[in-house]
Amino acid sequence: MALNFFPKVVKFFRLFQEQSDLLTDTAHILSELFDDFNNVAEKGRKIIRNEYAGNDLSREIAKQLSLTFITPIDREDIHALNMAQENVLNSMRAISTRIGLYHFREITPGTRDLISKLKLMIDSVALMLKNLSRKEEVEVNVVKVRETKIEADMLLLVLLGEVYDRQAENNSSLLDMVKWSHIYDRIEDAFAATEVLANTIEGIALKNA
């Protein structure tokens, strides 16, 4: 039997694309949850299933990296991209978990807009990853990510202000104010994680230009 002395070629970008597909699917489910505040538990379960699948993918990428001698990009970049995508997925799961836990009666339009911007950022990052795998420019999409992040930061400040104003004007439940503050904290974390992912892809693209 002939021996193969050459290492197996691992399709890391295929695995990254599977991760990215989970991110975009989760972002769209999350957006649907906020747009149509029904079947919250079922949508939450879908997001949890995506997170479990994402965790399996992340472990597979880490395993293959440890077994692979020749990689398409630097080993530390593979690790950074793997972790950055997993962090975005985990951050979206944290948002949906809090929404399911707190049993809100309704979602404010401003919060829907915020989640819509998160979905837009994640869609833009997905295009960046595809361009990276093709060795194409990512600049247009990274600009879009940063512009959307600035808009989201401004909207988030407005929404936080509204939460505290309602408490002062209507003497509403302090618990409600704390709940919404926690939700906005998780959303802010998701924006930050997505920006890190975009920066990671941009850095890899520049290194390999």
Q: How far is residue 124's CA from residue 195's CA, in Å, rounded to a whole number?
A: 11
Identify whether the C-beta of residue 58 lies closer than 8 Å to the C-beta of residue 81. Answer: no
Eight-state DSSP code of residue 10:
P
pLDDT at 162: 83
Distance of CA 120 to the CA centre of its chain: 11
195 against 103, higher pLDDT: 195
Identify whether the C-beta of residue 17 lies closer than 8 Å to the C-beta of residue 129. Answer: yes
pTM for the full model? 0.90
Report the number of secondary-structure helices (H) and strands (E) in the chain. Answer: 6, 0
Q: How far is residue 127's CA from residue 30's CA, in Å, rounded to a whole number?
A: 19
Reported as a single tens digit per residue, the pLDDT across 12-63 is 999 999 999 999 999 999 999 999 888 889 999 999 999 999 999 999 999 9
pLDDT at 6: 40
What are the structural domains of the chain?
Answer: 12-207 (1.20.58.220)
Tracing tokens 């978990």 back to the chain, one arrives at 97
